[in-house]
Protein backbone atom coordinates (compact mmCIF):
# COMPACT_ATOMS: atom_id res chain seq x y z
CA UNK A 1 0.00 0.00 0.00
CA UNK A 2 2.87 2.38 0.76
CA UNK A 3 4.24 1.87 -2.75
CA UNK A 4 0.90 2.75 -4.35
CA UNK A 5 0.55 5.87 -2.21
CA UNK A 6 4.08 6.92 -3.03
CA UNK A 7 3.53 6.30 -6.75
CA UNK A 8 0.28 8.30 -6.70
CA UNK A 9 2.00 11.25 -5.01
CA UNK A 10 4.81 11.19 -7.58
CA UNK A 11 2.33 11.10 -10.47
CA UNK A 12 0.44 14.02 -8.92
CA UNK A 13 3.65 16.00 -8.35
CA UNK A 14 4.75 15.45 -11.96
CA UNK A 15 1.35 16.58 -13.28
CA UNK A 16 0.47 13.15 -14.67
CA UNK A 17 -2.56 12.73 -12.43
CA UNK A 18 -5.45 14.75 -13.86
CA UNK A 19 -9.13 15.08 -13.02
CA UNK A 20 -9.93 12.83 -16.00
CA UNK A 21 -7.60 10.09 -14.80
CA UNK A 22 -9.00 10.34 -11.28
CA UNK A 23 -12.54 10.01 -12.64
CA UNK A 24 -11.54 7.02 -14.73
CA UNK A 25 -9.83 5.42 -11.75
CA UNK A 26 -12.91 5.94 -9.61
CA UNK A 27 -15.17 4.44 -12.28
CA UNK A 28 -12.88 1.42 -12.64
CA UNK A 29 -12.76 0.97 -8.87
CA UNK A 30 -16.55 1.01 -8.65
CA UNK A 31 -16.77 -1.51 -11.50
CA UNK A 32 -14.31 -3.79 -9.66
CA UNK A 33 -16.35 -3.58 -6.46
CA UNK A 34 -19.48 -4.48 -8.44
CA UNK A 35 -17.68 -7.39 -10.08
CA UNK A 36 -16.45 -8.74 -6.76
CA UNK A 37 -19.96 -8.52 -5.31
CA UNK A 38 -21.47 -10.27 -8.35
CA UNK A 39 -18.78 -12.96 -8.18
CA UNK A 40 -19.50 -13.64 -4.53
CA UNK A 41 -23.17 -14.13 -5.39
CA UNK A 42 -22.60 -16.33 -8.45
CA UNK A 43 -19.60 -18.44 -7.44
CA UNK A 44 -21.28 -20.53 -4.70
CA UNK A 45 -24.07 -21.47 -7.13
CA UNK A 46 -21.94 -23.06 -9.86
CA UNK A 47 -19.73 -26.12 -9.78
CA UNK A 48 -15.95 -25.90 -9.89
CA UNK A 49 -15.88 -27.61 -13.28
CA UNK A 50 -18.39 -25.16 -14.77
CA UNK A 51 -16.35 -22.24 -13.38
CA UNK A 52 -13.18 -23.54 -15.04
CA UNK A 53 -15.04 -23.96 -18.35
CA UNK A 54 -16.39 -20.39 -18.13
CA UNK A 55 -12.94 -18.95 -17.43
CA UNK A 56 -11.39 -20.92 -20.31
CA UNK A 57 -14.17 -19.84 -22.68
CA UNK A 58 -13.63 -16.19 -21.76
CA UNK A 59 -9.87 -16.54 -22.28
CA UNK A 60 -10.42 -18.01 -25.73
CA UNK A 61 -12.94 -15.29 -26.67
CA UNK A 62 -10.65 -12.48 -25.49
CA UNK A 63 -7.68 -14.09 -27.22
CA UNK A 64 -9.57 -14.27 -30.52
CA UNK A 65 -10.72 -10.67 -30.08
CA UNK A 66 -7.14 -9.46 -29.53
CA UNK A 67 -5.92 -11.39 -32.58
CA UNK A 68 -8.62 -9.92 -34.82
CA UNK A 69 -8.61 -6.33 -33.59
When pLDDT is cut at 50, 70 and 90, the band that residue 49 belongs to is very high
Residue-wise pLDDT for 3-17, tens only, equals 788 988 898 889 888
Segment 30-53 shows an average pLDDT of: 95
Over 80: is that where the pLDDT of 1 sits?
A: no
Distance CA 58, CA 42 (A): 16
DSSP category for residue 46: S
Q: If DSSP codes are grouped into helix, strand and coil, which group holds residue 59?
A: helix
Query: What's the predicted TM-score (pTM) here?
Result: 0.62
The CA-to-CA distance between both ends of the chain, in Å, stands at 35
Residue-wise pLDDT for 21-40, tens only, equals 889 989 999 999 999 999 99
Amino acid sequence: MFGNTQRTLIYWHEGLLTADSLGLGLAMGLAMIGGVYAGRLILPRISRERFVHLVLAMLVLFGVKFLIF
